Amino acid sequence: MKVSIQAKDFTLTDSIMAYVKDRINFLFRSRFNQIQKITVRLSDVNGPRGGVDKRCKVTIVLPRLNQVVIEDVQSDLYVAIFRAIDRASRTVNRRLNRLQDKKRRLYVPNRSKTGMLINGSYVYS
């Protein structure tokens, strides 16, 4: 999994980078092998004027699925990061679980050679 963190209109400090990496490691540790790339874009929309303008946009590329794009805008950058990465992790988990459930439903074993149908259920010998 490749992680890219980008900042627009402000300097990216070490503490912000560490916070983003910690959140990603914590929430995606069980899905590292299933994610191709995570891009986190941080920006300050209004610049020095202040207000609710800190944006965190998370883009996650999954194999064989559409990419997940989550964006959150808050007055505090850390809150925007927390909420966007949390929502992205829930969306990724939901999509990958659906894909796994779909694979399970499509698999039908050849029961004609392995067992007999007795009272509506298969009995294996």
Nearest to 58 by CA among 36, 81, 32, 40: 40
- pLDDT given at position 110: 59
- pLDDT given at position 98: 87
Give the contacts of 112 (CB within 8 A, at least 6 positions apart): none
Beta bridge partners of 70: 58
Contact 82, 22 (CB under 8 A): no
Please tell me the pTM assigned to this model: 0.77
- pLDDT given at position 102: 73
Q: How many domains does the chain have?
A: 1
Domain extent at residue 112: 2-124
Task: Specify the CATH number for the domain of residue 99.
Answer: 3.30.160.100
pLDDT in tens, 14-59: 999 999 999 999 999 988 889 999 999 999 887 666 666 899 999 9
pLDDT in tens, 65-75: 899 999 999 98
* Residue type present at position 105: R
Contact 4, 35 (CB under 8 A): no
- 117 pLDDT above the threshold of 90: no
Contact 85, 75 (CB under 8 A): no
Nearest to 87 by CA among 51, 56, 53, 123: 56
Q: How confident is the model at residue 11 (pLDDT cuts 50, 70, 90)?
A: confident
Give the contacts of 18 (CB within 8 A, at least 6 positions apart): none
Residue 54, both tokens: 């800190």
- pLDDT given at position 107: 62
